[in-house]
Amino acid sequence: MTRAISLRDVSKVYSRDVVAVDRMSIDIAPGEFVVLLGPSGCGKSTVLRMIAGLEPITSGELFLDGEEASHLPPAARRLAMVFQHYALYPNMTSRQNIGFPLRIESPHEDGGARITEAARLLGIEELLDRYPGQLSGGERQRVAMGRAIVRRPSAFLLDEPLSNLDAKLRNRLRAEIATLTRHLGVTTVYVTHDQAEAMSLGDRVVVMRDGVIQQIGSAREVYRLPENVFVAAFVGTPRINLLRATVHAPLDSRMSIDFGTQRMQLPHPLSPDHQMLRVQMGREITVGLRSEAARIASPEEMRPTEALLNGVVQHVEYQGHESLVHVTTGARPADVDGLEAPRPAAGQRTRRAARAEGPGRLRRMLARQGRPGGPAPEHPPPPTASGRAGGALVVRAGTEVQPRIGERVPLLLDLDQLYVFDSEGHRICPAPARRPRIDS
């Protein structure tokens, strides 16, 4: 039997007024796979532990299959939790480890058939007589999953189960977990701070920040229609380009978005979304543009839904099937509070290295490079910790485009894929009320 899990205004306050989860509400349908995604410390594990009954709820209610369950002890909830640190008993074989919960539940029953069934589902039948010390990390995590499956739980609660594994194994096990939980039809809540993992796994993704839900939606929805600048920045690789700008809307000429050093004219007649931007005149906005929404091409090739910016190639990341071209435009980058340290691009520096350098230095560097008032810089600055210099747009380019570092290039921006966020970070374009249809 699989179950529905509902949280109503659930909060968790730890000692010394640490609000780990702030009035969280969500309904998870039976058999659904939901991923809790957010930066370290945003409260994901706390939510999972409250569902499991390992952590008391400070206020609000938890329902399992519509029944208030906040008071139930963990065992009575029939939920199986799998942690990042798969705590297998070192002196027990895989068979004994998997069978352990059965021995606790019914000491006199022979759980052999159920152990074999769990091992078969996980493809670890040959490993049943080995000890944890004789298994690889991935195999140990499979045994840990076996221990969760064998109890035939009504839901799985998985807390970063793959984060100890190397990238290749993680990808493989990720696909296996998705297939397995679907096959078993069991409700699954999966915690991760890895946005790529979240996007590839869940029916729905719950993006959290500082204990508060930012958005709930399918992977496609949170990518295509982020409700705020935090979700836009947290979801997607490479990270969305975010630039500070203002709206320039004179009565006698065309509306444009002013990046300080360059203005981008909006096509006439204005789309309904762009008409809404007039209200923002005089206020700072944040423009968001994913790397696939801009292309390096001659202005003669410009389509009616495109607008032009000029830039200078500062860095090229060769990816084989495409390149990520970093183009400085002189625009100022927008900071987003609460994101983790910048995610390093492939082959670039680690979070630890970025932290060692300190946020102050990075910010000052970004501020210097984004100084308004001058043309696009002639001599491109070096890439920063986030893999891009201040204000540099990261643009995908096919193998036919081979830009040289220092080259001036025209950028054609697809206005249908342009996001605008107000000074509070809420998305105003595309307007929330006029959501484009999302094909599944």
Window contacting ligand ATP (CB under 6 A); options: 14-22, 230-238, 291-299, 368-376: 14-22
The span from the CA of 290 to the CA of 233, in Å, is 10
The residue among 79 and 285 lying less far from ligand ATP, judged by its C-beta, is 79
CB of 16 to ligand ATP, least distance (A): 7
Window contacting ligand ATP (CB under 6 A); options: 10-18, 105-113, 285-293, 402-410: 10-18
CB of 157 to ligand ATP, least distance (A): 12
- Kindly identify the residues of this chain, within the stretch 180-239, that bind ligand ATP according to CB under 6 A: 193
Binding-site member from 2, 6, 11, 45 for ligand ATP (CB under 6 A): 45
The residue among 212 and 308 lying less far from ligand ATP, judged by its C-beta, is 212
User: Does residue 46 belong to the site contacting ligand ATP (CB under 6 A)?
Assistant: yes
User: Does residue 54 belong to the site contacting ligand ATP (CB under 6 A)?
Assistant: no
The residue among 38 and 226 lying less far from ligand ATP, judged by its C-beta, is 38
Binding-site member from 2, 10, 32, 43 for ligand ATP (CB under 6 A): 43
DSSP secondary structure of 115-155: HHHHHHHHT-GGGTTS-GGGS-HHHHHHHHHHHHHTT--SE
The residue among 46 and 262 lying less far from ligand ATP, judged by its C-beta, is 46
Window contacting ligand ATP (CB under 6 A); options: 35-43, 111-119, 363-371, 376-384: 35-43
Binding-site member from 4, 20, 327, 334 for ligand ATP (CB under 6 A): 20
Other residues' Cβ atoms within 10 Å of the Cβ of residue 210? 17
The residue among 174 and 224 lying less far from ligand ATP, judged by its C-beta, is 174
Q: How many residues bind ligand ATP (CB under 6 A)?
A: 13
User: Does residue 41 belong to the site contacting ligand ATP (CB under 6 A)?
Assistant: yes
Instruction: Confirm if 257 and 406 have CB atoms less than 8 A apart.
Output: no
User: CA quadruple 21, 25, 31, 37: dihedral positive or negative?
Assistant: negative
CB of 356 to ligand ATP, least distance (A): 19
Closest CA to 173 of 190, 151, 152: 190
Closest CA to 41 of 21, 23, 55: 21
Binding-site member from 1, 18, 75, 353 for ligand ATP (CB under 6 A): 18
Binding-site member from 5, 42, 98, 255 for ligand ATP (CB under 6 A): 42
User: Does residue 85 belong to the site contacting ligand ATP (CB under 6 A)?
Assistant: no
Q: Which long-range contacts (CB under 8 A, 24 or more apart) does 429-437 make?
A: 429/273, 429/274, 429/276, 429/277, 430/225, 430/273, 431/272, 431/273, 431/276, 432/227, 434/272, 434/273, 435/225, 436/224, 436/225
The span from the CA of 404 to the CA of 411, in Å, is 15
- Burial state string for 357-394 with b = 16 or more CB within 10 A and e = fewer than 16: eeeeebeebbeebbeeeeebbeebbebbbbbbbbbbbb
The residue among 52 and 367 lying less far from ligand ATP, judged by its C-beta, is 52
Map residue 260 onto helix, strand or coil: coil
Q: Distance between terminal CA atoms of the chain?
A: 28
User: Does residue 11 belong to the site contacting ligand ATP (CB under 6 A)?
Assistant: no
* Composition of the chain by helix, strand, coil, percent to 5: 30, 30, 40
CB of 205 to ligand ATP, least distance (A): 14
Q: Residues interacting with ligand ATP, by CB under 6 A? A: 14-15, 18, 20, 38, 40-46, 193
